[in-house]
Structure 1
Amino acid sequence: MKEVTLRSTKQQIMDVLIELQEELKKEREAKLTIKDISDKMIKEEKLRNAQKILDLDILKPEIQEQFNDLKFAMEEAKSKLASIQGVTDILIDSEAIIMAKNKIIKDLEIDELNLRESIEKNISKLNQEYEDKKAKLESEYIIKKNKLETELRHEMDNYNYETSRSRKIDNDQWQEQKDAREKALAQKEDLVLERENKIQEREEEIVQLKLKVDSIPELVANSKQEGYKEASKKFDKEKAAEIAVIKSNTDWEIKVAFLERQQAIEDLVKAHNEIEKLQTKLEAAYHSMNTLATITVQSTGGLKIIDTNSKDK
């Protein structure tokens, strides 16, 4: 017999109902005893024999009429029996419908139970898959998070190292340049000091020469006592020439010394101005470098920028 489920069509249900009707008929026929069948066969045989005798036309008309009446009565009885059989068939159909209903309900309950068990198994399976997937994703998240943190820490260490290294190189270069400029400035200051010392020495020489010139009249007066007349002309001429030469040389040396001193002072002022300009450029460069480092760090997560301007100054 076909199985009835929630997805069964009307035709499938009717087929099951017809099968149940046939089974009920077979069960009712199986309830007939051998005696019932034998009596039925004897009655049918007697009817056939009587019909044969009637067909021979050897019976009296009265007997034939009685037989026909009996046959009519039997036909009427069969008709009534057929009516009763129809009621029986209706009862059989009702019983089959009830049985089919019970079977359908039972099959539906079984199908619903199986469906519920299947759904529960699927839900349990999906929950387990969800938990497994969740655990796997959490594990992958932790692994990736640790990896990213390690990479970020490594990048930050590299950035700090490169920044410190670059800053140290810049500081070393600036220190070397600063030392070189200070050394050059010190050399220029030494040169200026040397020139000032030479100028001072020459000024002292000029003073001594002036003293000598101032003492010439006294020398001349003393010489007059020894031979003023013989040597006065020669002495005056020679001394006049000597004084002119000394005065000329002295004026030139004073002028040269003054120019050299003025040039040294100008060189010293230029050197100081150049140092101030370089110091201003250095401060601007450090300010630009700190601004660039701040912008770079803000774009990568944030670092504490240490101002080194005051230290380098």
Structure 2
Amino acid sequence: MGSTGIDSLPSFSPGFKELSAPQGSERRHLTRINNHTMYLEILDGKLHRAPISDDPQMWYRHLGDVKSSVLFLCSRPHDLFKDFADKYPSAEVIGIDLSPIQPATVPPNCRFVVDDINEQWQYPDNKFDLIHIRAMAGSVPDWVVFHKIALRHLKPDGFVEQVELSGQAMSDDGTLPQDSALVQWWELFKAMGQKMGNTFAAGEVACESINAAGFIHIHKEKIKVPIGPWAKDKKLKEWGYWNLCFLLDGFDGFALRGMTTVLGWPIEKVQLYLAQLRKELKDPTIHSYLYL
């Protein structure tokens, strides 16, 4: 997380848009709910970790103040925008998305803007108290440049917060074979990112990029999120369930177009790979996890 006095924690770029296969509105809404619910579970029901609170003695600023302004740059978590606007009714909450799929009903202090964050920002400098970035892997060509722009648009004591779920599956007990489809997934998306010019390692480079952009008071947090309900701990088991639902619901459309159009795989090879990936994701003997 970063402040202009930051902690660390994305929108769709044209390159990301090319990878997004069409989905029905019902499935799209379910994916959003799974995504939002999973993050709420992992973050202890909190919408953010930036130190903003109703207790001014504990934190630098509280967003209940009139004229506070928040910008969300996220991959379709419209429920997050709305929940944040409900929690801070005095704050102006702006959500940006490249796709015009905004909900019809939103709180009066919340508005959605169809825009591309890689183009010139249509906001004055020193406007925002908080810029919250979430699930933007593969969307930004240069994260240092992006965070320099974000810094310019923050108020002097504002915060940037970036939350990213890594695509690199890991295991601590040797149950994830190095030749598995889950391990190959990360290598494939690194190759896609190189060809597109947009890294998928947004979480991995977030802290470094925020620091290089000129922020101070940087805080980094890494959380292990199981893939599937294999963990013994009740809380981790629940996280793993939501993570598995999120991955199973979203990876087909995302991977299919990217692997065929960017990497040039034939459709039959992609389908065989995705079938193996599904099998591994559901295998309780593979104790894999992703970092948030």
TM category, shorter: under 0.3
Whose RCO is larger (CA < 8 A, sep 6+)?
A: 2
Question: TM-score, normalising length from structure 2?
Answer: 0.16
Structure with bigger gyration radius? 1
